[in-house]
A and B are shown apart, each in its own frame.
Chain A
Amino acid sequence: MIAFFLRRLTAAILVLAAVTFVVFLIVYLSPGDPVKTLLGQSATAEQIADMRARLGLDLPFHEQYGAWLWRVVHGDFGRSISTQVPAMSILLPAFGNTLILALSSLFLSLLFGVAIGVTSGFRAGRLLDKVLMFITEVLAATPVFWLGLILIWIFARELGWLPSSGMRNMRARGSNLDLLAHLVLPSIAASVLAISIIARLVRGAVIDVLASDYVKIAQAAGMSSFRIFRKQVWRNILPPIVSVGGLQFGTLFGGVIFVEAVFAWPGISAQLFNAITAGDVAVIQAGVLMIATTFVAINLVVDMVLVWLNPRRAL
């Protein structure tokens, strides 16, 4: 198990190294000159050359990459070229907000995904199963941003139950209830695709377990459905739930970007888009690196938990 852990950790570090290279390469190749943006149109060629030298932009590619990587490894992601604020102090609070949204979506995805999957699995082939699975199919085909707009329309505009955008109401500063109210609609929108994926997977796993000999024996012995679920089914569907839950967390992180745009959630995507529009290299690099690192870390943790649940996987 230790060997497996080390192997996966090495692989994760290699992936991250590759990610840093790609991130740097993309920004290096991208059109638009940050120095001209910085100095404005009236800058003389001399001023531009001077600024390039000061920012180290005149060095060959590998030296620029090396210097950048060295700083990144030491936690220095550079400063925003437009505001001169360190990239991390722009991104970290936004990242926290994104994390709040992603976690609450993960919670909803697991809650509803497992509930629907288990219900459908126990009722396989019945009308309820068909209705639930049909709904998940339609939801899986519904674009996240569009669903967000519809939720805003119904629950914020028409019914007025919930706030339509942002994260906090200025007048209710710091109230957790206020934050929760702002979280409801974006979390639902972000979790719908994951709910339908988890529900289908759990349904399949439940059907498999129910068809197994030990469940048949338990049924023959007169064990109640609830007891069978608690004693037999639950333990056997847990690994696929962890697996898909972890993978979906990564996907949620990607999908959350659309949701943040619809609900004006002050997360990492808003900062990333501002940075792209402004050609703010340091912020783009740090933001992309942050999302990729989160991805890799989640996958690593999921792998670890799966091995812990079933040590044979490590072989």
Chain B
Amino acid sequence: MTMAPSPLPAPNRRPVFGAGFRLGRTAVALVVIAFVVVAALLAPWVAPFDPLYGDGALRRLPPGTEGHLLGLDAQGRDVLSRLLWGARPSLIAGIVPVAAALAISLVLGLLAGYTSSFLGGLIMRVIDALFAFPMILFAIATVSLLGPGLTTIIVTITISLVPYMTRIVYGAVVGEIGKGYLETARLLGASRSRILFKELLPNVVSPSIVYATTLIGPMIGFSSGLSFLGLGIQPPNADWGRMTVEGVEVFAQGAPHVVLAAGIAIIVTSLAFNWLGSGLRDILDPQQG
């Protein structure tokens, strides 16, 4: 079998930047992520306006309009307020499915790597079959079952990530098998569940978390894409993808600020999570460099 077809940027095998630069970058990433998370949590208090209230007289006004730092959208709603509120679904869509897929994959990967070869083979063949589905088809399938919305985004991304993550966990488990400590535990009469969850799991968790972190950024982008297509967050609420769609109206009228604000928020946040991921790899999984 070939390697998994990844929709995601693979880790750079050969580091580009020196250790000092990477450490600094990780620190910047942490600050950015902390800022976005706090902004999302505090949105009801820090957002200057109601994100759903539109003032017809102020439609499409550019950034810097009095009281509206980032300007107003096609319906006269404050862009900064919508950006802050939009951070909530965007972060949830990036983090929740990755965490859920991580939990599912840890169980599947451990079972596949360290139980009967029949069960293991079965799990991995099903995983292989799931690779045949492009992620967007999961989205279409989920939408036709559940209708559009945040739940659809979460379910879609979780299902599509499980194959990729299970491969990673499975690889890590297979790499651990045959190491002394497992053999020792087995000879000491440890039960299978003890070996699986007390011995193997801790050693498999850190590469899995590193991989999971690198998925958050791309998934924030992907989920905003789903909202952009109309499969995700529904109006009048908005994540950053939905804001981009709504920005397209004013975009055509020569006011690009809504699209720019939403896009820059997506790029900066995803980049921060990507940098955090490579920083974590440096710390937790140094031999992967």
Complex interface: chain A residues within 8 A of B5 (CB): 247, 250-251, 299
- Once the chains are docked, how many angstroms separate the CA of A31 from the CA of B142? 11
Query: A309 within 8 Å of B by Cβ?
Result: no
The answer to whether A11 and B128 have CB atoms under 8 Å apart is: yes
The answer to whether B137 and A138 have CB atoms under 8 Å apart is: no
The answer to whether A137 and B132 have CB atoms under 8 Å apart is: no
Across the two chains, which residue of chain A brings its CB closest to B13?
A: A204
The answer to whether A149 and B259 have CB atoms under 8 Å apart is: yes
Query: B6 within 8 Å of A by Cβ?
Result: yes
CB distance from B182 to the nearest CB of A (A): 28
The answer to whether B267 and A258 have CB atoms under 8 Å apart is: no
Across the two chains, which residue of chain B brings its CB closest to A293?
A: B132
Across the two chains, which residue of chain A brings its CB closest to B135?
A: A254
Interface size on A (CB < 8 Å)? 62
Query: B224 within 8 Å of A by Cβ?
Result: yes
Between A146, A150, A247, A257, the greatest number of chain B beta carbons within 10 A of the residue's beta carbon is seen for A146
The answer to whether A200 and B12 have CB atoms under 8 Å apart is: yes
Query: A68 within 8 Å of B by Cβ?
Result: no
Known A-B contacts A30-B145, A133-B16, A296-B132; the reply to A261 vs B2 at CB < 8 A is: no
- Once the chains are docked, how many angstroms separate the CA of A273 from the CA of B16? 41
Q: Which residue of A150, A254, A273, A299 contacts B229 across the interface (Cβ within 8 Å)?
A: A273
CB distance from A272 to the nearest CB of B (A): 7
CB-contacts of B1-50 with A (<8 A): 2-3, 5-7, 9-10, 12-14, 16-17
The answer to whether A243 and B2 have CB atoms under 8 Å apart is: yes
Complex interface: chain A residues within 8 A of B13 (CB): 200, 204
Complex interface: chain A residues within 8 A of B134 (CB): 250-251, 253-254, 291-292, 295
CB distance from A87 to the nearest CB of B (A): 15
CB-contacts of A98-117 with B (<8 A): none
Query: B228 within 8 Å of A by Cβ?
Result: yes
Q: Which residue of A200, A258, A261 contacts B9 across the interface (Cβ within 8 Å)?
A: A200
Across the two chains, which residue of chain B brings its CB closest to A206?
A: B14
Complex interface: chain B residues within 8 A of A31 (CB): 145, 147
CB distance from A190 to the nearest CB of B (A): 12
The answer to whether B129 and A14 have CB atoms under 8 Å apart is: yes
- Once the chains are docked, how many angstroms separate the CA of A29 from the CA of B241? 29
CB distance from A212 to the nearest CB of B (A): 14
Across the two chains, which residue of chain A brings its CB closest to B16?
A: A133
- Once the chains are docked, how many angstroms separate the CA of A134 from the CA of B224? 23
The answer to whether B244 and A299 have CB atoms under 8 Å apart is: no
CB-contacts of B205-241 with A (<8 A): 217-218, 221-222, 224-225, 228-230, 241
- What 1/0 mask marks residues of chain A from 255 to 267 whose CB sits below 8 Å from any chain B CB? 1011001000000
- Once the chains are docked, how many angstroms separate the CA of A90 from the CA of B22? 51
Complex interface: chain B residues within 8 A of A302 (CB): 2
The answer to whether B137 and A146 have CB atoms under 8 Å apart is: no
- What 1/0 mask marks residues of chain A from 194 to 211 whose CB sits below 8 Å from any chain B CB? 001100110110010000
The answer to whether A29 and B267 have CB atoms under 8 Å apart is: no
Query: B143 within 8 Å of A by Cβ?
Result: yes
Known A-B contacts A261-B229, A288-B141; the reply to A204 vs B263 at CB < 8 A is: no
Complex interface: chain B residues within 8 A of A306 (CB): 2
Between B7, B17, B244, B252, the greatest number of chain A beta carbons within 10 A of the residue's beta carbon is seen for B7
The answer to whether B270 and A141 have CB atoms under 8 Å apart is: yes
Q: Which residue of A149, A203, A291 contacts B244 across the interface (Cβ within 8 Å)?
A: A149
The answer to whether B3 and A243 have CB atoms under 8 Å apart is: yes
Known A-B contacts A141-B267, A145-B228, A261-B229; the reply to A203 vs B7 at CB < 8 A is: no
Complex interface: chain B residues within 8 A of A14 (CB): 129
Query: B271 within 8 Å of A by Cβ?
Result: yes
CB distance from A211 to the nearest CB of B (A): 10
The answer to whether A254 and B136 have CB atoms under 8 Å apart is: yes
Across the two chains, which residue of chain B brings its CB closest to A26?
A: B141
The answer to whether A288 and B263 have CB atoms under 8 Å apart is: no
The answer to whether A133 and B12 have CB atoms under 8 Å apart is: yes
The answer to whether B263 and A130 have CB atoms under 8 Å apart is: no
- What 1/0 mask marks residues of chain A from 125 to 141 whose CB sits below 8 Å from any chain B CB? 00001100110011011
CB distance from B3 to the nearest CB of A (A): 7
- Once the chains are docked, how many angstroms separate the CA of A306 from the CA of B141? 32
Q: Which residue of A124, A150, A251 contacts B263 across the interface (Cβ within 8 Å)?
A: A150
Complex interface: chain A residues within 8 A of B133 (CB): 19, 22, 292, 295
Closest 7 CB pairs of A and B: A254-B134, A247-B5, A141-B270, A204-B13, A146-B263, A133-B16, A141-B271
A-B contacts, 12 listed (Cβ < 8 Å): A15-B128, A124-B14, A141-B270, A251-B6, A261-B229, A272-B140, A273-B230, A276-B144, A291-B137, A292-B137, A302-B2, A303-B2
